[in-house]
Copies of this chain bind each other. A is one copy, B any other.
Amino acid sequence: MKTQEELFIKMVLDAWDTQIKRMDDLFSSLSDEQLMKEIAPGRNRGIYLLGHMAAVHDRMLPLLGLGEQLNSELYKIFVENPDKAITQLPSIGNLKVYWKNVNTTLSKHFINLPATEWFQKHNSVSGEDFAKEPHRNKLNIIINRTNHLASHLGQLVFLTSKGE
């Protein structure tokens, strides 16, 4: 029997896992050639969104107090700069490895995090603000990042030959 807190956490992590699984399957199905294409005319390329997702998820490690970023250079390339601003990008093969590694690392932490920890503040909110806004906790980061993931997943589907 789960406590109410454990039930909330399961709801949020199940949604995260579902979107991660879909994105994994999509990235696995796309060739390097497809990932070098723009998602829609004049928009981000697949390679950029692959790096962007890896970078944003990597940043979740320090944000959630789970450790250092695994590949801190990604953030500058794929978040602070737009696509095509930097010509020398990591290879698609390496980016796929970074994407896999960061999600596996996050997942291991998530499984072991005690229920009460999820309702503690994350590292982008001050103690003072958190006292007034207790919804700005670690679990809330997962809710928001799952929506971020869903948003880019909706876009990356356009790289497949047949999408929804």
Contacts and interface: CB of A to CB of B under 8 A. Distances in A.
Nearest to A159: B40
Contact of A4 (B5, B12, B147): B5
A7 B8 CA distance: 11
Given A4-B4, A154-B154, A147 B19 contact: yes
By secondary structure, the A interface counts as helix
Task: Bin chain A's interface residue count.
Answer: 35 or more
Interface string A6-42: 0110111011001100000000000000000001110
A153 B149 CA distance: 12
A93 interface: no
A134 to B, nearest CB: 6
Specify which of A2, A11, A144, A164 lies most central, judged by the most chain B CB atoms within 10 Å of its CB.
Answer: A11
Nearest to A12: B143
Specify which of A18, A143, A146, A147 lies most central, judged by the most chain B CB atoms within 10 Å of its CB.
Answer: A147
A158 interface: yes
Nearest to A148: B150
Interface of A: 2, 4-5, 7-8, 10-12, 14-15, 18-19, 39-41, 43-44, 119, 134-135, 137, 139-140, 143-144, 146-148, 150-155, 158, 163-164
11 contacts: A11-B135, A14-B135, A19-B147, A40-B41, A41-B41, A147-B150, A150-B151, A150-B154, A151-B154, A154-B155, A155-B158
